[in-house]
Amino acid sequence: MRKTVKPKSPTETPSLVIRPAIESDLPALEWDGAYMRFRRVYANLFRDTQSGRILMWIVTTSQDEMVGQVFVMLKSKNLQSASDRRSAYVFSFRIKPHWRNKGIGKRLMNHVEEDLLMRGFTYVTLNVAKENLSALRLYQRLGYTVIGSRAGIWSYKDHQGQVQHVNEPAWRMIKELCPH
């Protein structure tokens, strides 16, 4: 599913496209090197899109510049994250700094929620870093409620094959999806 989002007024952001990521998008997910360390993670997630376990949505300009991304886990062994057909888990939600506060994040989350509703999901969960107050406010404006906290301790192999450990305390949030 590909969705073109046109500006409502001349002062609003240019036309944007929300679409599934394709393999050739993977280098752009590194955002000019800022997220190079996640190269292996992105490649593994993309492989999981082939089995239908993960969705990778991106936002691009009409010039094909990637300005946003979000990943959605549809199936997980951890039922608190994603339970096939009931609850989906949103992660790696990012909008490039220059493009923030233009309504793109809201549009992207609305797109994700509409897609999940069409797939029959009832709930969306996510974790937001406790220090990321801007994102917390956005999610609250979109109807997400804090239901707990997470230690946010995880690890991954970076682009050089080195194991990296992350400690990012987070708020656990949920939203019930309601058909319009």
Give residue 2's pLDDT. Answer: 55
- CB burial class (10 A; 0-12, 13-18, 19+) of residue 64? exposed
Whether 133 maps to a domain, the answer reads: no
Q: Helix H segments across the chain? A: 39-50, 104-118, 133-141
Give residue 179's pLDDT. Answer: 77
Query: Domain tally for the chain?
Result: 1
Whether 148 maps to a domain, the answer reads: no
Whether 58 maps to a domain, the answer reads: yes
Distance of CA 24 to the CA centre of its chain: 18
Q: What is the CATH number of the domain that holds 102?
A: 3.40.630.30
Give residue 10's pLDDT. Answer: 43
Whether 82 maps to a domain, the answer reads: yes
Give residue 40's pLDDT. Answer: 97
Whether 88 maps to a domain, the answer reads: yes
Low-confidence ranges of the chain (pLDDT < 50): 7, 9-11, 79
Whether 16 maps to a domain, the answer reads: yes
Whether 40 maps to a domain, the answer reads: yes
Give residue 11's pLDDT. Answer: 44
- Fill in the amino acid letter for 131: E
Give residue 84's pLDDT. Answer: 57
Question: Taking the model in full, what pTM does it have?
Answer: 0.89
Whether 73 maps to a domain, the answer reads: yes
Give residue 81's pLDDT. Answer: 60
- Residue 52, domain extent: 3-128
Q: Are strands 87-95 and 123-129 parallel, antiparallel or unpaired?
A: parallel
